[in-house]
Structure formats: C-alpha cells, structure tokens
Amino acid sequence: MKSYFKNAFIVALLFFSGIVISQEKPIRIGLKIGFPNIAGGNVEYVTTLLNNKLAFSADYSSLKADSYLDPDKGEVSYFQVGVNYYLFKEGKGLYLSANYGILDAELTLQDIESDIEFDKYGIASPSLSNKSVNVKLGAKLGGFFYFRPEVGYGFTSLDPTIDVVVNFPDGTSENQPEEIPEELTKGLMFNIGFGFAF
C-alpha cells in the first residue's frame, strides 16, 4: 500500500511538473538593488499559464538600519510576493507585475527633543509595518544570465506619523507624534536585478 501511494505521488508530481514548466529555464534566482528592497534576493518561476507568460515571484531583504540611516539604528526587512505577466514573449522581455509587499522596521531614534522641557533629549524605539499593493513595469533581458530593471508604485494606507514613547536619561518619558521617514512610506518603487535562469 505504501508503494502505491509513493508511485501515485511520483506520477502526480511529474504530471504537475509537465503542466507548470513553461520553457527550458523557468526558474530564475537573483539579486535586486533599489527601493524598497534596498538589496536582497529574488526568485521567479515561469509557468505555462496564459500561454507561458505568467510567472510567480518573491523578494526578500533584511538589513541593519544604521548602515544607511545614521545615527538611527534598528532593522528593516522587506518581503514581496506576486505575479509577473510577460507582454510579448514567453518568460522574457517586458512584463507587468502585481504584488503584495510588507516593509517592517524597528528603529531606535536618538536625540529626540522634549516637547515639555527645554534642552532635554531622549530615545524612542518605534516599530512599524507598511503593507502595500504594488504595480510595476519591468523587463527581463538575457538568457542564462539576465538583467532586470523595474519601476512601479506602491499603494499604502500607512499614516505619515506615529505615536512613540520617548525615554529620557532621568527616567521620565513622553508620548510624542513622530514623522515616519519618507524613505519608508513613499509609493515610488524602482530596482535593478540580475541573476541566473535554470
């Protein structure tokens, strides 16, 4: 009985593979540099759906915020998943992309001035999560080694300010509204990717 299920699983896997594999090199693994992903990994899988023009794609990046927001410290991560639709050719050339992205940030903001006492400064450690629906236009150029530019826009409902607790060296604290850095909330998206297709 166990070998029956094993054989059925193998047949189903081969059948499924035959349905979704669209071309000789449907798997793409690469890097993207830009905004909002800063620098991170990308994977794409081209299927036979819609005449071999629909692909599933995911991006991920994570880095320390103090590497580019000095003196602020913390961590910023970005995850995105969605689909790419190639407009003219199977799995290459111009494509439209629709995806869902989540940018999470945990920052330590230093030297925040008190709203109550003059010349008093403290530290706040806000966390925020910016969820957005994104549309992009891109192009996958090349074969085994490829180059991929993208531009787009992210639609988000994140407020431009958040309430943070500012802690001062004397042990007191204040609630203050703080503006979220524009780099974390603006809708414009752009990146350049490169990698290998298998």
Tell whether the model's pLDDT for residue 76 goes beyond 90: no
What per-residue confidence (pLDDT) applies to 7?
A: 54
What per-residue confidence (pLDDT) applies to 146?
A: 96
Q: CA 164, 167, 170: angle at the middle one, nearest 5?
A: 160
User: What domain range is 30 assigned to?
Assistant: 23-106+125-158+181-197
Average pLDDT taken over every residue of the chain: 84
Question: Whole-model pTM?
Answer: 0.77
In DSSP notation, 115-151 reads: SSSTT-EEEE--EEEEEEEEEEEEEEEESSEEEEEEE
From the CB of residue 195, how many other CB atoms can be counted at a distance below 10 Å? 21
What per-residue confidence (pLDDT) applies to 2?
A: 47
Tell whether the model's pLDDT for residue 158 goes beyond 90: no
- 18 is a domain residue: no
- 150 is a domain residue: yes
Pairing state of beta strands 161-167 and 173-179? antiparallel
- 143 is a domain residue: yes
- 83 is a domain residue: yes
Element (H, E) at 6: helix 2-20
Residue 10 pLDDT level (bands cut at 50, 70, 90): low
Average pLDDT over residues 70-79: 76
CATH number of the domain that 100 lies in? 2.40.160.20
How far apart (Å, rounded) are the C-alpha atoms in residues 132 and 59? Answer: 14
- 50 is a domain residue: yes
For the chain, the 3-state helix, strand and coil shares in percent, each to the nearest 5, are 15, 60, 25
Pairing state of beta strands 121-124 and 173-179? unpaired
Q: Residue 106 corresponds to which tokens in the numbers above?
A: 């945990």
What per-residue confidence (pLDDT) applies to 140?
A: 96
What per-residue confidence (pLDDT) applies to 9?
A: 56
In DSSP notation, 63-77 reads: EEGGGTSTT-EEEEE
What tens digit of pLDDT does each residue of 16-67 get?
A: 444 444 466 899 999 999 988 889 999 999 999 999 999 999 999 988 766 4
- 165 is a domain residue: no
Average pLDDT over residues 144-159: 91
Beta-carbon contacts of residue 34 (< 8 Å; ≥ 6 apart): 150, 189, 190, 191, 192
Query: How many structural domains does the chain have?
Result: 1
- 169 is a domain residue: no
- 15 is a domain residue: no
The 8-class DSSP code of residue 88 comes to S
Average pLDDT over residues 130-138: 94
